[in-house]
Amino acid sequence: MIDVRPFEQLGGAHHGWLNARHHFSFAEYYDAERMNWGRLRVWNDDEIAPHSGFPPHPHRDMEIITYVREGAITHRDNLGNQGRTEAGDVQVMSAGTGIAHSEYNLEDETTKIFQIWIQPNQAGLPPSWGAKPFPKGDRAGAFVTLASGYEEDVDALRIRTDARLVAATVKTGQSAEYSLQAARKAYLVGATGSFTVNGVAAKARDGVAIADEALIRIEATEDSEIVLVDVA
């Protein structure tokens, strides 16, 4: 099953400094048919104006992944962590028993991010944050794991959930494949480009919900950057 959710049909809100589109119900946007996809609860497509951002606010018991599409995001939290994550890289925040953080675009250009929330396996664990740059060349034509709840993914950022976030860049006319185990689901969004997913056409920023597919094959009709979450 492959269900394309066109970008134009996503929920959203424009706050001046923030132009947000929601793949699932979030804040004032509610769609009973789009509450989650397995343990995946939130996938927001955010555009943050220069020198603005999210002021300090709290979270608890959620795994929150930020994938930077363009620009950079600067993180600070009440644990003393701070860092700047650039385009193509990821940061992970395990909210656990509670964390307060801010996310600001301190750049002179608009920052574009995917904000992805996945429900944790266990509530009440200590909060944490981490970020990591990933060599862009490593994901050319093949999916690379950026964040994972599995010990075998030793180079990935750790998340406390039965899930994996992977990314690939695929040149026009080329393909990349991802194997999906039985009873699992995947949700993917193209940061750029246009492509087919097992023959079904999609474009940048569309959501593609996938279930009951043992192999996911991406064929690029334009140079594409693909972000995929594999969840229970």
Please answer whether residues 182 and 189 qualify as being in contact, where contact means their C-beta atoms are separated by less than 8 angstroms. no
Name the 3-class secondary structure at 195.
Answer: strand
**pTM of this structure:** 0.97
Q: Give 120-166 pLDDT, tens digit per residue.
A: 999 999 999 999 998 877 888 999 999 999 999 999 999 999 999 99
Beta strands in 71-206 (DSSP E): 72-77, 82-86, 90-94, 99-105, 111-118, 128-132, 144-148, 157-158, 163-170, 175-179, 185-192, 194-197, 200-203
Q: What is the DSSP letter of 129?
A: E
Per-residue model confidence (pLDDT) at position 52:
98
Residue bearing tokens 């793949």: 23
One-letter amino acid identity for 53?
G
Q: Give 56-90 pLDDT, tens digit per residue.
A: 999 999 999 999 999 999 999 999 999 999 999 99
Domains and CATH numbers, the chain: 2-231 (2.60.120.10)
